[in-house]
Amino acid sequence: MIVIHYSEIGLKGKNRSFFERKLVDNIGVALKGLQYESIERGHKKVVISAEADKDKQEFRKRLKLIPGISYLFFAVTSELDIEEMKKHLLKLSESYQPCRFAVDTKRSNKRFPFTSVEVNRILGEVLNQRGWPVDLTNPEITFSVELAEKEAYLYAERIQGPGGLPVGSAGRLVALLSGGIDSPVAAYRMLRRGSSIIYLHFYNFTQVTNITKDKVRRIVQILQRYQPQAKLYMVPFEEIQRAIIAVVPSKYRMIVYRRVMFEIANLVAGQVGASGLVTGDSLGQVASQTLENLNVIYKRAKHPVFAPLIGYDKQEIVDMAKQIGTYETSILPYSDCCSLFIDRHPETKADLESIEQIESGLKIEEQVKGALESAEIISV
């Protein structure tokens, strides 16, 4: 039996079953190919009936990544009877060497005749008599007991999940993915808040070989562990860039590149029914991310722009990238098209009026249309 607890979904009141169903659906997709009897919604939890030890590592590996899960454990199930529970605890303890221990009981079933403190003491005694020293302040192992409605669960190891909300419970967003360190982390932060994400990458094909193109696909593959299905739009940017370079002074190109990316992102959002954009911006990190420039860039977006890393330091972002598993791929060499033909001293205090003035000489409707039409849509 695998018992899964969620955190925030528990606070959802009347909408709870909607979130619970999403979580159950996502768990079902993530466990594809593994054997289990059922996934059921229990009282503030999800219970998977599966053979205790079969594919345990694989279940664990997949489940611990699913947004919405607070923690989970592989449970020994017992009748709601204290003598039975003693037997099960003894059996469970046989997998471990005696060491300093504690018993920690959670009593969701208020009809159970003993309080949680009493259960801790009664069960603790059983192990204590067999030479296990009790240590409530700094135990080496904690045997947890959960008194549910119809049965009790016993376990020794709690597996932490990512928390957050189930993917698909909070709308759909288009994430602009550059191939760098930041944007995959930004996409992940929004996935974890329950958004389902469509990925969008712009590349300059004179710069990009198949190997480097594959890098972005690999990043999406890593992010796909957290979301059942993922789609990646690869949009060629070369012609647009050429048109921009012909008209826009190098100092302003970065800003215009990014504004045009947003213009195309608006169109993609329309196609896929998304109602927001995600970027990896972090305030002041590079020239394109000063407050003035972000203001001018974001003005081009039709939907709200979410930049969940805006208040994080680079090192914090790097740590998150390592944690979610994208870092190693993100640091592979790759030339982001944004860095092409830009000034060594780009504008850091753009104002909308001058940028619009410069852009008025830019006729790229055809190129924008063409880029979108020749976009490669990859199902990852």
Binding residues among 170-229 for Mg ion as defined by CB under 5 A = 178, 180
Residue whose CB is less far from Mg ion, 92 or 340: 340
The CA-CA-CA angle for residues 159, 160, 162, to 5°, reads 145
Residue of closest CB approach to ligand ATP: 180
Residue whose CB is less far from Mg ion, 99 or 331: 331
Distance CA(310)–CA(294), nearest Å, equals 11
Residue whose CB is less far from Mg ion, 35 or 339: 339
Residue whose CB is less far from Mg ion, 20 or 182: 182
Residues 6+ apart with CB under 8 A from 21: 41
Among ligand ATP, Mg ion, none, the one that 88 touches (CB under a kind-dependent 5 to 8 A) is none
Interface with ligand ATP (CB under 6 A), residue total 22
Question: Can residue 338 be called a binding residue for ligand ATP (CB under 6 A)?
Answer: yes
Binding residues among 126-185 for ligand ATP as defined by CB under 6 A = 176-178, 180-183
Give the shortest CB-289-to-Mg ion separation in angstroms: 10
Tell me which of 202, 262, 312, 334 binds ligand ATP, using CB under 6 A. 202
Question: Can residue 337 be called a binding residue for ligand ATP (CB under 6 A)?
Answer: yes
Question: Can residue 308 be called a binding residue for Mg ion (CB under 5 A)?
Answer: no
Instruction: Print the SS3 string covering the chain.
Output: CEEEEECHHHHCHHHHHHHHHHHHHHHHHHCCCCCCCEEEEECCEEEEECCCCCCHHHHHHHHCCCCCEEEEEECEEECCCHHHHHHHHHHHHCCCCCCCEEEEEEECCCCCCCCHHHHHHHHHHHHHCCCCCECCCCCCEEEEEEECCCCEEEECCCEECCCCCCCCCCCEEEEECCCCCHHHHHHHHHHHCCCEEEEEEEECCCCCCHHHHHHHHHHHHHHHHHCCCCEEEEEECHHHHHHHHHHCCHHHHHHHHHHHHHHHHHHHHHHHCCCCEECCCCCCCCHHHCHHHHHHHHCCCCCCEECCCCCCCHHHHHHHHHHHCCHHHHCCCCCCHHHCCCCCCCCCCCCHHHHHHHHCCCCCHHHHHHHHHCCEEEEC
Residue whose CB is less far from ligand ATP, 126 or 245: 245
Question: Can residue 207 be called a binding residue for ligand ATP (CB under 6 A)?
Answer: no
Among ligand ATP, Mg ion, none, the one that 279 touches (CB under a kind-dependent 5 to 8 A) is ligand ATP
Interface with Mg ion (CB under 5 A), residue total 3
Among ligand ATP, Mg ion, none, the one that 5 touches (CB under a kind-dependent 5 to 8 A) is none
Residue whose CB is less far from ligand ATP, 152 or 268: 268
Residue whose CB is less far from ligand ATP, 166 or 184: 184
Here's the x/- map for Mg ion, 317-346, by CB under 5 A: it reads as -------------------x----------
Give the shortest CB-245-to-ligand ATP separation in angstroms: 16
Give the shortest CB-338-to-Mg ion separation in angstroms: 6
Give the footprint of Mg ion on this chain (CB under 5 A). Answer: 178, 180, 336
Give the footprint of ligand ATP on this chain (CB under 6 A). Answer: 176-178, 180-183, 200-202, 258, 261, 279-281, 285-286, 288-289, 336-338
